[in-house]
Structures are given as structure tokens and as C-alpha cells.
Amino acid sequence: MSEGPKEQGNKELAFIGRLESLLGHPVGNEHWIGDDAAVLDASGHDKVLLTSDLVIEGVHFDRSISSPQDIGWKALAVNASDAAAMGGRPWRCVVCVAGANSDDLDLLYEGLLEASAAYGCPIVGGDVSDGALLVVSVALLATTEGATPVFRSGARCGDALFVTGPLGSSAAGLRELLSDKAARGPRIEAHRRPKARVDEGMAAARSGATAMIDLSDGLGLDLHRIAWASGVGFDLDTVPVFDGATHDEAIGGGEDFELLFTAPNEKDVRAAFHAAGLRPPIAIGRATRDKGVCTLSGAPLEALGYSHEIS
Amino acid sequence: MSEGPKEQGNKELAFIGRLESLLGHPVGNEHWIGDDAAVLDASGHDKVLLTSDLVIEGVHFDRSISSPQDIGWKALAVNASDAAAMGGRPWRCVVCVAGANSDDLDLLYEGLLEASAAYGCPIVGGDVSDGALLVVSVALLATTEGATPVFRSGARCGDALFVTGPLGSSAAGLRELLSDKAARGPRIEAHRRPKARVDEGMAAARSGATAMIDLSDGLGLDLHRIAWASGVGFDLDTVPVFDGATHDEAIGGGEDFELLFTAPNEKDVRAAFHAAGLRPPIAIGRATRDKGVCTLSGAPLEALGYSHEIS
């Protein structure tokens, strides 16, 4: 046996040494952590999806509200959600962490590994470094399992518009936590442990979805993103509001991570979700010819939602 | 044409709109920026390498010394170097940026795109967000072009040890910049624009390299990483020092990004480098049976180099 880095008394090396045992064994002839890059077996995958997102202290989370476990979960789940929004299934990911102390690293990885297990997406490599702020960056590969990926640009006039669940839960949960850090319940859970709608995205893709996006920045903004990309408008009849959230939180709150998608045939969509044992998607409106124009019950719906300000 | 996000007056959206034109057109049936994930054509690639690294202000760069262009270059080049260290060729990458203002973003992308062109590795997606510190995270996919990836663990007793160039240039360049921000020359260039040794890594892999690593943290530490992973020791006869650098900078400075590798047949290695039109690698020693023990001219060589402290 080689002398291991554990004996060097350096905590970064020691953590990476422990990580190798935490992350489990590579599949088949793959080779994961311990080298400069992970080796993945891509044979059998014609198409792969690649996405990356980072979460940074003070922007994507507040450490007085979110535990390191929650931050780890979220960092991976938001990437799984991006894959879901294309109809993809998370496959492999790598994680970089900066600015975590040794205790936080363990807890952060608890959450990362919970999400990794929940989405069947092994962490195959990563890096740890110093930093004055906590940053967690995840890059994720997904597979389409032979299906055609769904873009934002395919919505056509007349398509039905669906959302996979009621909205505003995360924003409502954050509001509750800001007034009472001990608050508990489904909105708090939605804020702390957002779910990526992977099975829903695949069901939507299989049932003819023409455009899809995950609601990371709020319905107001993300709906317009589909409208702009597809060259259509949308007339909404209704916005389903999560129990205990406000109408504004449902439209502008963001971080719901429900999927918003269009499809020409509502029956096919309902059948696919039913066959997959999923909660039925909610039809909320339809695509129109009015390029970029979105309305709710006839009144203009502005492109408002969370967006990062660059000074 | 759809109304674009540019009309929304939000700088993040406007930048991402501009990015689509900056990044060039997808190859074949791929689909790059503009959706939640990039779609890549993996057919023909049995194995892919995946690596990710982030650079963060105050740890990996000092904004009073490095320009945004240099930071962008470095963020991509360090990932290309990780691929090179496995014998891989950079293929596609995604970039997340936090904490850059609008002007910095443009300059940062100048450097990112220069490195992207230099390594033939298109940026296929990414994300921009707020942040109190500048963070650039790159995840990179590489291909092995049918060759077997080279790990850290394959060095065998008797193998010759090579490095692809003299060491200490980056540390010397940083030292010079700290005393004179207007300093110029090859060491400054080496610090600001580190080169990933992609062709060298592929030549080493083709000529029977048994273990390889890129010198990101300094010879002292990275040599021990190969020793630990392979279960060997190393006797070094010499350490090639970059002109104007010190012996200590060559051993412990880090960020040289030259490749350190072992191979059983020195002639094959020299022939492969010659055939590829590359500078000959420098033989600096050989692998021994003394697990984890590294010496230079008979004296102990400690596992010192840059490593991140986790408190």
C-alpha cells in the first residue's frame, strides 16, 4: 500500500482522502476521484447534456437560514433541475467547494450525497479550496436516454401550457424563515430542499413537449424566456399558488423548480404523467401569436422575477 | 423573430444575449448556450474525461495584479491542464461567473475565449450571477481520442521521471509583480497566462507514460501525489529551474502547469515528443521501491507545495 495523503497532516488532503471512501466505487470501467479528471464511459450515449451552476454565500443562500447540508443539497439539485428542464436524467457530476471549514465540508457533503443518491447521479470528482465566502459549484452531465432534448424555443401558437405543481412555496418558506428561524413545514422544506422534477421532465419530453424550462427565477420571467425563444406569447387563465404562499410569490418568487412546458396534445401529456405515476400537471394557459406578450386573465404579466444585477 | 431579452434592460440578460453571439455556432447537431443545458454529440467517444476547477478572488488571483482577461484565461487553462494530465484533449466546457460587473464580464470573457480558441475547446454554456467576490468556475469535458487515460497510480519501480519544462516561472513572476506591478517578461507571462501542456500530455500517453500529473501545487507536493498513488518513491538527480526563478520556487512554487510523468522507455518518450514537434521533456530521476520516499541528490525532498488550508 502506498503512504496516503492522510499522513501529511494537511486538512485539504485529508478531506480528499476521506472523500474517496465517501463517494463509493466507480461503475464498470470508469475511474472517478483521485486523479486530475474523472474518466467516464460515454459509450451508448449519443447525446449528453452538460450544465453547471454555482451557489454563493450572500446571493443564493444565507448561512443563518440554510444549513451546510441544505446548501449542498441545493447546489446539486439546481443542476439536476436544469437537466430535467431539457428532459434529461442526471448521470454524473463534479463538485468544487471554496471557503468551507472542515466541519462545514462534512455537512455540505452530507447534503450533496443525499441529492446525489436522490437523483441517481454519482459525484465523480471535485476540488476543495480556500475562500472568504462559501461557494459550491456543480457541473452535471445528463443523458437523454435516446429521447430528443426539449428546448425553450419550440412552443407553437395553440400549444397548451403546463406547470408541474403550484408555485411560490420557496419564496413563502424564505419569508417565514426570515421572521422565525425555527419555522417548520412544507414551505420551509420547499425552500431548503428544492426538488428537481426529473421524472416529470422525462414524461413531458415523451409526451410531445415542445418547449420547457425550470422555474428558477419565477414564472413571470421564465415564461417570457420561453415566449422570447419560441416567438410566441402566452395567455394564462390561472396561476396555481402553493398553500400558504401569496400570488406575488407564485409569480415572482423563483426557486420553485417546478417545470413549465408546452405541448400540443393535453391528453397525451396527462396520459404520460399518469403512466409514470406522477401528480398530474396543471394546465394554466396556451401559446398565442402575440410574440413576447404574456397575459394573466387578460391583464399584462410583466417579465418580473429574480435576476442577478450586474453593476 | 422573438423579442429578445436585450429589450428588458437587465444587464445579466443583456450579457447572456451578447454571449450567444460571442460564443460562435454549435458544431453539427449540437445545441449550446440559450437553454438550461448544452446538448453535446458524444457519439464516437467511448470515454470522456470530466474535470472542474474554480478560481476565487483572494485565493487564486489578486485583482491588483491579474487583469480580468488573465483571470478568464487562467480559469479555463487550469482545467485544460487537468485534462492534459490524463492525456486528454479539451473538447467542450461550461463557465459560471459570480461577482463580475458588466465591464469585467466583457474582459473576463476576452480571456476565456482566447483560452477556448487556444485549446480548441468551445464554451457551450454557462451562468452569470451576483457575488461579493469574483469567482470563475469552469467544468471541462475532454476526449482521449481512443487512447488509454494516464492515471497517477501507474508508476513502477525503475520508470524514468520526466518534466515537460523548467519550473518556478509562475512563482518568480508573482514575486516580481508584487515588488513592481509594471514588471514584464517571460516569468510574468508564465504567471498571468499559464499554458496547459495538451500536446505534451498526449505525446506522453502515446509513448507509454505510466503515471502523470500537472504541476499545479508544486513539484514537492505533486511528486508525492504520484508516489502515494503508485506506491513507489522517487530519486531525483536534478530539478530544472526556470531562468530567473529560485530553486525553492521551482520545488514549492506551484502553478507551473508543466506535466510530471513516468515512463519505462526514455527513448520512446523522446521519439514521440520529437515526432510531435515538441520541446524534449527533461529526465529528472527515476521511481524506486521506497514507497512515498522522495529524494533530491540523496537528500529528503519534503511534500511541500501549495495546498489550501481548511480551518
Stretch B203-223: mean pLDDT: 96
Between CA B296 and CA B304, with CA B301 as vertex, the angle to 5 degrees is 140
pLDDT for A9: 47
Q: Is the CA virtual torsion B183, B185, B187, B192 positive or negative?
A: positive
Stretch B148-170: mean pLDDT: 97
Q: What is the rounded end-to-end Cα distance, in angstroms, of chain A?
A: 54
Stretch B154-173: mean pLDDT: 98
Domains of chain B, CATH where assigned = 5-143 (3.30.1330.10), 160-300 (3.90.650.10)
pLDDT for B306: 63
Residue-wise pLDDT for B172-208, tens only, equals 999 999 999 999 999 999 999 999 999 999 999 999 9
Give the separation between CA B42 and CA A41, rounded to whole angstroms: 11
Give the separation between CA B183 and CA A32, rounded to whole angstroms: 41
pLDDT for A149: 95
Question: In this model, does residue A6 exceed pLDDT 50?
Answer: no
C-beta atoms surrounding B89 within 10 Å: 20
Amino acid symbol at A196? A
> How big is chain B by its Cα radius of gyration, in Å?
20
Percent of chain A clearing pLDDT 70 (strictly above): 94
Measured between CA atoms, the residue of chain A closest to residue B149 is A39
Q: B233 has which bridge partners?
A: B288
Helix axes B68-84, B102-118, angle to 10 degrees: 30
Question: In this model, does residue A169 exceed pLDDT 70?
Answer: yes
Stretch B239-267: mean pLDDT: 96
Indicate the burial class of B289 (C-beta count within 10 angstroms; 0-12, 13-18, 19 or more): exposed
In this complex, do B94 and A50 lie within 8 Å of one another by their Cβ atoms? yes
Question: In this model, does residue A76 exceed pLDDT 70?
Answer: yes
pLDDT for B309: 52
Residue-wise pLDDT for B46-91, tens only, equals 889 999 999 999 998 888 889 999 999 999 999 999 999 999 999 9
Q: Is the CA virtual torsion B146, B49, B28, B69 positive or negative?
A: negative
Question: In this model, does residue B260 exceed pLDDT 80?
Answer: yes
The answer to whether A288 touches A237, Cβ cutoff 8 Å, is no
Q: How confident is the model at residue A1 (pLDDT cuts 50, 70, 90)?
A: very low
Q: Could you tell me how many residues make up chain A?
A: 311
Higher pLDDT, A311 or A292: A292
> Is the CB of residue A148 less than 8 Å away from at least one CB of chain B?
no
For residue B24, give Cα distances in angstroms to A50, A226, B123. 17, 22, 9
> Is the CB of residue B27 less than 8 Å away from at least one CB of chain A?
no
Give the separation between CA B166 and CA B144, rounded to whole angstroms: 26
> Is the CB of residue B201 less than 8 Å away from at least one CB of chain A?
no
Q: How confident is the model at residue B308 (pLDDT cuts 50, 70, 90)?
A: low
Stretch A77-96: mean pLDDT: 97
In this complex, do A151 and B126 lie within 8 Å of one another by their Cβ atoms? no
Which A residues 68-87 touch B at CB under 8 Å?
81-83, 85-86
Distance from CA of A11 to the nearest CA of B (A): 6
The partner residue sitting opposite A310, judged by closest CB among B15, B36, B88, is B15
For B85-157, where are the alpha helices, taking DSSP H only?
102-118
Question: In this model, does residue A155 exceed pLDDT 80?
Answer: yes
For residue B210, give Cα distances in angstroms to A171, B86, B87, B142, B204. 53, 10, 11, 19, 9
For residue B305, give Cα distances in angstroms to A100, B223, B246, B253, B290. 21, 10, 14, 6, 21
Contacts of B165 (CB under 8 A, 6+ apart): B197, B240, B242, B256, B258, B279, B282
pLDDT for A10: 64
Q: What are the φ and ψ backbone dihedral angles of B96, each rounded to 5 degrees?
A: -115, 135
> Is the CB of residue A37 less than 8 Å away from at least one CB of chain B?
yes
The answer to whether A83 touches A53, Cβ cutoff 8 Å, is no
Strands B211-214 and B259-263: antiparallel
pLDDT for B82: 97
| DSSP letters spanning chain A | -PPPGGGG--HHHHHHHHHHHHT-PPPTT-B-BTBSSEEEE-TT-SEEEEEEEEEEBTTTB-TTTS-HHHHHHHHHHHHHHHHHTTT-EEEEEEEEEES--HHHHHHHHHHHHHHHHHTT--EEEEEEE--SS-EEEEEEEEE-TTSPPP-SS---TT-EEEESS-B-HHHHHHHHHHH-TT--SHHHHHHHSPPP-HHHHHHHHHTT--EEEE-SS-HHHHHHHHHHHHT-EEEES--PBPTT--HHHHHH------EEEEES-HHHHHHHHHHTTPPPPEEEEEEESSTT-EEETTEE----S------
pLDDT for A284: 98
Classify residue B109 by its DSSP letter: H
Q: B50 has which bridge partners?
A: A38, B141
- Coil, helix or strand at residue B219: helix
pLDDT for A310: 52
pLDDT for A306: 63
Range among A20-34, B16-30, B120-134 with highest mean pLDDT value: B120-134
> Is the CB of residue A117 less than 8 Å away from at least one CB of chain B?
no
Q: How confident is the model at residue B37 (pLDDT cuts 50, 70, 90)?
A: very high
Which B residues 246-285 touch A at CB under 8 Å?
none
The partner residue sitting opposite B36, judged by closest CB among A85, A92, A230, is A85
Stretch B281-286: mean pLDDT: 98
Residue-wise pLDDT for A242-263, tens only, equals 999 999 999 998 899 999 999 9
Question: In this model, does residue B4 exceed pLDDT 50?
Answer: no
DSSP H/E element including B138 = strand B135-143
The answer to whether A226 touches A213, Cβ cutoff 8 Å, is yes
Give the separation between CA A193 and CA A184, rounded to whole angstroms: 12
Stretch A131-143: mean pLDDT: 96
> Is the CB of residue B31 less than 8 Å away from at least one CB of chain A?
yes
Q: How confident is the model at residue A308 (pLDDT cuts 50, 70, 90)?
A: low
Q: A33 has which bridge partners?
A: A35
Distance from CA of A99 to the nearest CA of B (A): 8
pLDDT for A309: 53
Please state, rounded to an integer, the average pLDDT across all residues of chain A.
91
Q: Which of A50, A55, A140 to mutate to test the interface with B (most CBs of B within 10 A)?
A: A50
> Is the CB of residue B148 less than 8 Å away from at least one CB of chain A?
no
Number of Cβ pairs closer than 8 Å across A and B?
292
Span of A89-93, A96-100, A179-183, B10-14 with lowest mean pLDDT? B10-14
Stretch A217-225: mean pLDDT: 95
pLDDT for A7: 37
Q: Max Cα separation, chain A? A: 72
**Residue among B173, B209, B210 at smallest CA distance from B193:** B173
Distance of CA A15 to the CA centre of its chain: 27
Contacts of B240 (CB under 8 A, 6+ apart): B163, B165, B166, B167, B250, B282, B284
pLDDT for A146: 83
A-chain residues within 8 Å CB-CB of B291? 1-3
> Is the CB of residue A31 less than 8 Å away from at least one CB of chain B?
yes
